[in-house]
């Protein structure tokens, strides 16, 4: 009741989509078979996460150099 409502201008969100990995058409069936087999056995898992920060890994390396991880 003290102030008029403030209206902030916004931009509509446009969802992004990951690009497909280019595969030659001649190899497409073989690649699909390999990926399906890896998913079925649990050795392949899709991940969309951010890599861990170097600070989180430093404790595992003790006094070793870690600048190569950046």
Taking 60 as the threshold, does the pLDDT of residue 70 lie above it? no
* CB contact at 8 A, 66 and 54: yes
Domain contains 50 = yes
Check if the beta carbon of residue 68 is closer than 8 Å to that of residue 61. Answer: no
Report if residue 62 sits inside a domain.
yes
Instruction: Give one DSSP letter per residue of 9-52, joined into a string.
Output: ---------PPPPP--GGGHHHHHHHHHHHHHHT------PPPP
Q: Is residue 10 part of a domain?
A: no
Give domain status of residue 51, yes or no.
yes
- If one counts the domains in the chain, the total is 1
Query: Is 9 inside any structural domain?
Result: no
Domain membership of residue 6 (yes or no) is: no
Local confidence band at 68 (pLDDT 50, 70, 90 cut-offs): low
Structural domain including 58 reads: 25-69
Stronger pLDDT, 38 or 15, i.e. the higher one: 38
In-domain check, residue 29: yes
Helix (H, G, I), strand (E, B) or coil at 69: helix
∠ at Cα 16 (12, 19), nearest 5°?
160
* In a domain? residue 41: yes
pLDDT surpassing 90 at residue 19: no
Q: What is the pTM of this model?
A: 0.42
């Amino acid at each position: 009741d003290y102030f008029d409502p403030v209206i902030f201008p916004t931009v509509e969100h446009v969802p992004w989509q990951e690009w497909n990995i280019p595969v030659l058409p001649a190899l497409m069936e073989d690649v699909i078979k390999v990926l399906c087999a890896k998913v079925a056995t649990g050795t392949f898992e899709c991940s969309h996460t951010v890599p861990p920060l170097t600070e989180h890994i430093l404790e595992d390396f003790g006094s070793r150099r870690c600048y190569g991880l950046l």
